[in-house]
Amino acid sequence: MNKYLSISPEVEEALRNHQPVVALESTIISHGMPYPQNVETALRVEQTIRDHGAVPATIAIIGGRLKAGCTPEEIEYLGKKGPAVTKASRRDLPVLIARGEDGATTVTTTMIIAAMAGIQVFATGGIGGVHHHAQQTFDISADLEELAQTPVMVICAGPKGILDLGLTLEYLETKGVPVIGYQTDELPAFYTRHSGFEVDYRLDTPQELAAAFRAKQALGLRGGMLVNNPIPEEYSMPADVINFAINMALREAEEKGVHGKQCTPFLLERVKDITGGDSLAANIQLVLNNARLAAMTAAAMCV
């Protein structure tokens, strides 16, 4: 085991006994929502995973330790500290560890630490991807590179709607990442079920997802698998409403010169404000929906 990795006793026991475990990111706690809603949501997501037969493993970096499984007290700590916690991608890990600092894990770092611990399924809200105008800015999320090399199934509600979805799909195709639609032929776009883009394959049960992932591993193919689970119909936002908010936020980001790792938090916060908080409510529901599917898929992998 990596000397910088700490696996919680509950997660370690589950992995040792071949029981289902689901990884969860911590950026959504520190950077995704205000306190105390962030902590309440994180604990609710963990409980949802337990209710569906799996063990949650919230992943973070605390005091320079890679944590696979956080205690409620550690989640509270991350929630209270909020944006003061470093939003940690792959490039940040060596320095945070060397300095003994804290880090909130993105999709990228959650995948890295989950793979170190032996966790195969990860539930999140949405993945990063290719940003608009990436032809000039080269602003492409490290999440896509991680999906191409780290063997973890990522269950999300699609790429974040603030992204260029067409270019994100092209990039994933180039990297050989299977883009799966769960009970849908269309790529969901985070806040809404519809994007106008097709997925590579549609699979309709957790058992099918587990079988596809096992086949990928048996073939010796590198990388993970992206499962796109649409937000439930009753919480899906109208495409015209969310697209209006996203376009307005994109214009503001360009005018203010926002770029790099500040871009996504800025855009999501502005979309929340423009929609009167509706996007945040949708965000919570889609994460819970992904947690349910991840728990069932993790259980199917253990059969």
d(CA 131, CA 141): 8
The answer on pLDDT for 65 being more than 70 is: yes
Q: Which of 32-46, 141-155, 175-189, 277-291 has the lowest mean pLDDT?
A: 277-291
d(CA 284, CA 179): 23
The answer on pLDDT for 260 being more than 90 is: no
Q: What is the predicted pLDDT for the residue at 226?
A: 98
**Average pLDDT taken over every residue of the chain:** 93
Percent of the chain with pLDDT over 70: 99
Q: What is the pLDDT of residues 72-119, one digit of tens each?
A: 999 999 999 999 999 999 999 999 999 999 999 999 999 999 999 999
d(CA 57, CA 255): 39
d(CA 37, CA 49): 18
The answer on pLDDT for 247 being more than 90 is: no
The answer on pLDDT for 224 being more than 70 is: yes
Catalytic residue numbers read: 25, 160
Torsion 133-136-142-147 (CA) sign: positive
Percent of the chain with pLDDT over 90: 76
Structure tokens given for 149: 């090399």
The answer on pLDDT for 136 being more than 80 is: no
Q: What is the predicted pLDDT for the residue at 274?
A: 86
The answer on pLDDT for 127 being more than 90 is: yes
What domain range includes position 142? 5-301
Buried b (16+ CB within 10 A) or exposed e, 242-262: beebbeebbeebeeeebeebe
Q: What is the pLDDT of residues 280-303, one digit of tens each?
A: 788 899 999 999 999 999 999 998
CA count, 13 A, side-chain hemisphere, 19 = 15
Q: Which helix (H) or strand (E) holds 6?
A: strand 5-7
Length of the chain measured in residues:
303
Residue with tokens 């106008």: 196
**82: which strand partners?**
none
Q: What is the pLDDT of residues 173-221, one digit of tens each?
A: 999 999 999 999 999 998 899 899 999 999 999 999 999 999 999 999 9
Structure tokens given for 260: 């790099």
| More confident of the two residues 1 and 226 | 226
CA count, 13 A, side-chain hemisphere, 107 = 28
Q: What is the predicted pLDDT for the residue at 1?
A: 61
CATH number for the domain harbouring residue 214: 3.40.1790.10
Total number of domains in the chain: 1
Q: What is the predicted pLDDT for the residue at 76?
A: 98
Q: What is the predicted pLDDT for the residue at 246?
A: 80
